[in-house]
Amino acid sequence: MAKTILIALGGNAIKQADEKGSSEEQFRNCWKTTNYISRIIENLEPEDRLVITHGNGPQVGNLMVQQKVAEDIVPAHPMDVVGAMTQGQIGYMLQQTLMNHLKKMGIKKSVCTILNQVLVDKNDPEFIGENASKPVGNFLTEEEAQELKKKYPEYIIKKVKPNGERCWRRTVPSPDPISNIEGAVINKLVEAGVIVIASGGGGIPVLEDEEGELVGIEAVIDKDLAGERLAEIIGADLFFILTDVEKAKLNYGKPEEKELGKVSYQQMKQYFKEGHFLVGSMGPKVKACLRFLENGGKKAIISSLDKVLEAYRGETGTIIEKEN
Q: In what order do the strands lie in the sheet with 204-208?
A: 179-180, 117-119, 204-208, 214-216
CB atoms within 10 A of CB 81: 13
Give the integer Cα–Cα distance in Å for 34 and 28.
10
Q: Which of 91, 138, 201, 223 is flagged as catalytic?
A: 223
**Active site (annotated) includes residue 134:** yes
Q: Which of 15, 29, 55, 134 is flagged as catalytic?
A: 134
Beta-carbon contacts of residue 8 (< 8 Å; ≥ 6 apart): 53, 54, 223, 224, 227, 239, 240, 241, 242, 288
**Active site (annotated) includes residue 223:** yes
Give the integer Cα–Cα distance in Å for 11 and 31.
14
Q: Which of 10, 12, 138, 299 is flagged as catalytic?
A: 12
* 40 to 9, 36, 44, 51, 92: CA distances (angstroms): 14, 7, 7, 12, 20
- DSSP annotation string for 31-66: HHHHHHHHHHHHTS-TT-EEEEEE--HHHHHHHHHH
**Active site (annotated) includes residue 285:** yes
Give the integer Cα–Cα distance in Å for 305 and 41.
14
Q: Which of 15, 285, 287, 299 is flagged as catalytic?
A: 285
Q: Which of 11, 200, 201, 203 is flagged as catalytic?
A: 11
Beta-carbon contacts of residue 73 (< 8 Å; ≥ 6 apart): none
List 303's β-bridge partners, or say none: 242
CB hemisphere CA count around 88 (13 angstroms): 6
Residues with catalytic function? 11-12, 134, 223, 285
